[in-house]
Structures are given as C-alpha cells and as structure tokens.
Amino acid sequence: MIEKIDHSEISYAAKIHGLFQASYSIEAELLGVTDFPPLKRSIVDFLNSDTLFYGIWKEGVLAAAVEIDLLENTLDICSLVVHPKYFRQGIAQKLLLFLENYDDSETLIVETGWANTPAIALYKKFGFNETSQYTNTGGIKKICFRKTKLEK
C-alpha cells in the first residue's frame, strides 16, 4: 500500500534520507560520478522540503518513495527511488501507476541520468516520451521525459 509520508517529522525525514542514500548511490555508480547532488541532501533538507512524499513499506522498512511537486496542470516527479534490496520487484511500477491517477494534472514530467537504463526503460514502458537532454552544472547528462495522461 502506498502511503503519504510526513517528511516534516524527523524520524520519517531520516528514513527518506536513508532510502535516497541507498538508491542514489547506485545511480551515481551507473552514471560514473562521485559528485552527485541527490546524495548531498541532508535530513534537514527533507524536513524543510515543499514537495510531497509517498512511500511503500515492506517488512517495516521504507522500500521505495516518490517525491512530487504539483505545478500548473503538471505533476513533476522530482524523485522516484527504490532501495536496492527491493529492485526488480515492481515497486517503481506501482508508484508510477499511483501517480498516473493521483490528481487531475494533464501531464507528468520526470528526468533521470542518461546512463540510468533501468529508469529510462521503466519510463518508456509507461508511455513517457523523451523531450530533451541537457548537461547540468555538475556535468551530469540528464534526459527529460513527459507523458500526457491521455496517452495512458
């Protein structure tokens, strides 16, 4: 079951932080980078975030989470992370299905590192279309995706 996470509560912010560290360490390896901004987020950053967090718990552990921001007619998937222990169990797919029906936003957007082939495959499987590529200020090449809900 997918539950909203109260990231303003320190114990939950710490759980989100731990999950992000575990998951984004793998993405940093895939991208071949050591300086990866998502790994620099602190527990305080999560406590003070204006975004929303939803998660899936397994055996009392936060197995996966999604961070979203609601823009005008657009749901921005800021982060979608799965703990490596729970890779390839369909958890990310459950979160994407949840987001497709989350609200009445017309569009979903997301971006990932260009070498994160599992994430790219997942977004394409769910009907996301590549809209652009860019290299961020840290030198990390990113791919942006977009999906209009009518394309379900």
pLDDT tens-digit series, residues 53-92: 999 999 899 999 999 999 999 999 999 999 999 999 999 9
Q: Residue 23: give the domain boundaries.
A: 2-148
**Into how many domains does the chain fold?**
1
CATH number of the CATH domain containing 93: 3.40.630.30
**Ramachandran area for residue 39 (φ above 0: left; ψ -120 to 50: alpha; else beta):** alpha
Q: How far is CA 53 from the centre of its chain?
A: 10
Residue 56 vs residues 29, 53, 59, 66, 68: alpha-carbon distances, Å: 24, 10, 10, 9, 15
pTM, two decimals, is: 0.92
Q: How far apart are CA 90 and CA 51, in angstroms?
A: 24
